[in-house]
Amino acid sequence: MEDDDEYQERREQIIESRQRSCYLCFIFWTDAKFANYDAPDNCIKCNLPLFDSWLWERYNHPVFMFNCAVDHRGLAMNRCYHFPDDLGEHRLIPRTEVKSFYLLKDCDLDLRKPPLRYWSKKNPHNPRYGDMKLYLKCQVVERMLEVYGSWEEFEAEKRLRTSQKEIRAEKNFEKKVKEMRQHVSMKFKPFRISFLSSWRFPCISIPYSGETLTFLKRVFQ
């Protein structure tokens, strides 16, 4: 039993090391793909020298910031080192929120040029869920405006999808109520018994003779 446990533990370690190496290769390949972009000299917010900005290295966003702070949910909060970020435009948001709140599809994030960069981070709620893909909010908003054209069109599309979702939910509810009623009516359906009056006796042919007539007279007297 101990040999089996050691073998299983060793096998898990090998699998984990292979996954880590593949992940690092992917990160290096992604960083190398975006390394050809020329960094601007100054920050677009404070107009000071950009230096080694974390936002530029990770998202190609020319805002001066050294490191990444973390909020109460475990998500990253970014801001310019010299410029206050009151609107939270440099906040990092997960991919699920990007798709649900900003109504962006996978093709809008990955296929539309240029593809949005993201930062892979362990899920703080449960590491078994896999890595989160965190996107920069200002880049997501910019991509949303490219897809829908304006905030008015985006809000109209959002209201339309909300109304369609409510209609589908109402139809599903009515369908379930109808199925429950049919199930109850079939379960408590009364059982009808056919009376004997509807049953016919088989006809028996009795040959007529004088002895038969005498027998019947004796029986019914």
* CB-based contact 94:133 (threshold 8 Å): yes
Indicate whether this model's pTM tops 0.75: no
Q: Chain-centre distance of CA 36, in angstroms?
A: 35
User: What are the φ and ψ backbone dihedral angles of 198, each rounded to 5 degrees?
Assistant: -85, 0
**Which run of H or of E encompasses 133?**
strand 131-136
Residue 169: Cβ within 10 Å count: 10
pLDDT score of 90 = 81
Domains of the chain as residue ranges with CATH: 14-157 (3.90.530.10)
Structure tokens at 51: 């230096």
- Low-confidence residues in the chain, pLDDT < 70: 1-11, 13-39, 65-87, 188-221
